[in-house]
């Protein structure tokens, strides 16, 4: 059975033809990436993909969406598109559809991919727990959070959350300064304002102000690039500060969800900075939970390396619903 699997974030919408075999195995074709800002609606982006595929698509679609998916109208957290589920079949010309939160889809992928699709970040170097609760999170345009519960019989359940919008809790004077900068624009500062791709700009600007260095507003991608290639020591410090905050947030999510069977970092940004994460203070910050440090040190923390976990997971969610 073929279907269109779609992973829609704040910046990009990724489309692919997925195949679900009779034994449940999922394979993906070659993904197509479309910039959300280039299209007025999801329907026009769908039509663009259909044209790229020669003018016809399978009559089934599964969509992973960055934002809450309940209600009559689905609004994206970080892009202006909307989707009305009641009109999906008519507007897209499909017979069956599935809509899940983007990190709900990633949790489906975590449940289904093989162990060799993960790299170890910190904690005991062992596989994720075969039963119990796992936490899944990842930075991109925003910060996605979900959790996965593995049953003893081999089945699993996933739940989407909006954990990226919990309050940011600074742990030192530098993070106090980052919070103070953000408070000038946002009365309430969520962790997504600090642990997401665009957040590197505010971190960088804060560090520059502390050192009395004049900097101009610039694209966050340029800061990430200089921070990773070593050409800008201030940008490198901003990237390291980002990794510290990601460690803190990942530990908080594990505590809140009871994700003691393992924590998985996902998202394209997480994968791109994987080498930096391994050398940064991420691990120490993850464990730095006072009386619970010993518990935190017992949790395996992995990074999923599957190239398209959102697309794979959306197809897996469709398979759960229709096969």
CATH number, domain containing residue 272: 3.40.367.20
Q: Which of 177, 61, 319, 74 is nearest to 53 (CA)?
A: 61
Contact between 5 and 318 (Cβ < 8 Å): yes
pLDDT over threshold 80, residue 216: no
The predicted pLDDT at position 297 comes to 98
Pairing of strands 263-265, 132-139: parallel
The predicted pLDDT at position 11 comes to 85
With 0-12 / 13-18 / 19 or more C-beta atoms within 10 angstroms meaning exposed / middle / buried, residue 42 is buried
Pairing of strands 96-101, 143-150: unpaired
Same domain, yes or no, for 192 and 280? yes
Same domain, yes or no, for 196 and 294? yes
Is residue 219, in this structure, part of any structural domain at all? yes
Question: Known binding site: residues?
Answer: 6-11
pTM: 0.91
Same domain, yes or no, for 171 and 66? no
- Other C-beta atoms within 10 Å of 151: how many? 11
CATH number, domain containing residue 74: 3.30.420.40
Is residue 73, in this structure, part of any structural domain at all? yes
pLDDT over threshold 80, residue 18: yes
Q: Between 140 and 243, name the one with better pLDDT.
A: 243
Same domain, yes or no, for 185 and 258? yes
Per the structure, the complete domain to which residue 76 belongs is given by 2-100
The predicted pLDDT at position 190 comes to 97
pLDDT over threshold 90, residue 68: no
| Domain end (from 80, 100, 120) | 100
Long-range contacts at 208-217 (CB < 8 A, ≥ 24 apart): 208/234, 209/177, 209/181, 210/174, 210/177
Is residue 11, in this structure, part of any structural domain at all? yes
The predicted pLDDT at position 293 comes to 97
Q: For 232, how many CA atoms within 13 A lie in the half-sphere containing its CB?
A: 16
* Tokens read off for 63: 């969509």
Mean pLDDT, rounded, of the chain: 94
Is residue 269, in this structure, part of any structural domain at all? yes
Same domain, yes or no, for 167 and 300? yes
Same domain, yes or no, for 293 and 167? yes
The predicted pLDDT at position 267 comes to 82
d(CA 274, CA 243) in angstroms, rounded, equals 10
The predicted pLDDT at position 219 comes to 87
Same domain, yes or no, for 214 and 96? no
Question: Known binding site for ATP: residues?
Answer: 6-11
Same domain, yes or no, for 296 and 214? yes
Q: Summarize pLDDT for 84-95 with one digit per residue, the tens.
A: 999 999 999 999
The predicted pLDDT at position 271 comes to 87
Is residue 158, in this structure, part of any structural domain at all? no
Q: Distances from the Cα of 72 to the Cαs of 35, 41, 44, 98, 183, in angstroms?
A: 25, 17, 20, 14, 33
Q: Summarize pLDDT for 160-189 with one digit per residue, the tens.
A: 999 999 999 999 999 999 999 999 999 899
The domain total for the chain is 2
d(CA 198, CA 194) in angstroms, rounded, equals 8
The predicted pLDDT at position 25 comes to 95
DSSP annotation of 313 reads H
Is residue 128, in this structure, part of any structural domain at all? no
Same domain, yes or no, for 196 and 287? yes
Contact between 157 and 149 (Cβ < 8 Å): yes
DSSP annotation of 227 reads H
The predicted pLDDT at position 199 comes to 96
Same domain, yes or no, for 172 and 243? yes
Q: In degrees, to the nearest 5, what angle opens at C-alpha 148 toward C-alphas 119 and 134?
A: 50
Q: Summarize pLDDT for 199-214 with one digit per residue, the tens.
A: 999 999 999 999 999 8
Is residue 131, in this structure, part of any structural domain at all? no
pLDDT over threshold 90, residue 137: yes
Is residue 127, in this structure, part of any structural domain at all? no
- Give the DSSP letter string of 13-78: EEEEEEEE-TTS-EEE---EEEEGGG-SSHHHHHHHHHHHTTS---SEEEEEESS---SSSEE-SS
Same domain, yes or no, for 174 and 91? no
Q: Which of 136, 141, 110 is nearest to 13 (CA)?
A: 141
Name the band, by pLDDT with cuts 50, 70 and 90, for residue 109. very high
3-state secondary structure 159-193: EEECHHHCECCCCCHHHHHHHHHHHCCCCCCEHHH
Same domain, yes or no, for 70 and 179? no
Q: Distances from the Cα of 89 to the Cαs of 219, 222, 247, 264, in angstroms?
A: 38, 41, 41, 34
Contact between 242 and 115 (Cβ < 8 Å): no
Percentage of the chain beyond pLDDT 90 is 87
Q: Summarize pLDDT for 277-291 with one digit per residue, the tens.
A: 999 999 999 999 999
pLDDT over threshold 80, residue 78: no
pLDDT over threshold 80, residue 47: yes
């Amino acid at each position: 059975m073929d279907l269109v699997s779609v992973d829609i974030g704040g910046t990009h919408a990724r489309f692919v033809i997925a195949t679900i075999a009779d034994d449940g195995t999922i394979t993906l074709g070659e993904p197509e990436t479309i910039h959300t800002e280039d299209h007025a609606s999801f329907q026009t982006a769908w039509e663009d993909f259909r044209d790229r595929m020669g003018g016809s698509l399978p009559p089934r679609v599964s969509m992973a969406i960055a934002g809450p998916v309940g209600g009559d109208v689905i609004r994206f957290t970080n892009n202006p598109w909307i989707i009305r589920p009641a009109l999906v079949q008519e507007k897209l010309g499909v017979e069956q559809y599935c809509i899940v939160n983007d990190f709900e889809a990633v949790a489906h992928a975590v449940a289904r991919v093989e162990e060799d699709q993960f790299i170890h970040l910190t904690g005991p170097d062992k596989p994720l727990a075969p039963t119990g609760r796992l936490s899944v999170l990842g930075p991109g345009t925003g910060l996605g959070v979900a959790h996965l519960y593995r049953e003893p019989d081999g089945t699993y359940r996933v739940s989407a959350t909006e954990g990226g919008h919990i309050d940011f809790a600074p742990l030192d004077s530098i993070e106090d300064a980052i919070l103070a900068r953000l408070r000038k624009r946002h009365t309430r500062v969520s962790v997504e304002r600090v642990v997401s791709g665009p957040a590197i700009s505010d971190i960088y600007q804060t560090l520059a102000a502390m050192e009395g260095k004049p900097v101009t507003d610039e694209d966050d991608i340029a800061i990430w690039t200089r921070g990773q290639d070593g050409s800008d020591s201030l940008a490198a410090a901003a990237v390291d500060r980002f990794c510290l905050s990601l460690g803190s947030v990942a530990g908080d999510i594990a505590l809140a969800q009871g994700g003691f069977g393992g924590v998985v970092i996902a998202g394209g940004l997480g994968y791109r900075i994987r080498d930096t994460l391994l050398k940064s203070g991420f691990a120490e910050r993850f464990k730095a939970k006072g009386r619970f440090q010993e518990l935190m040190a017992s949790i395996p923390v992995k990074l999923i390396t599957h190239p398209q976990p959102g697309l794979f997971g959306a197809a897996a969610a469709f398979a759960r619903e229709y096969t």
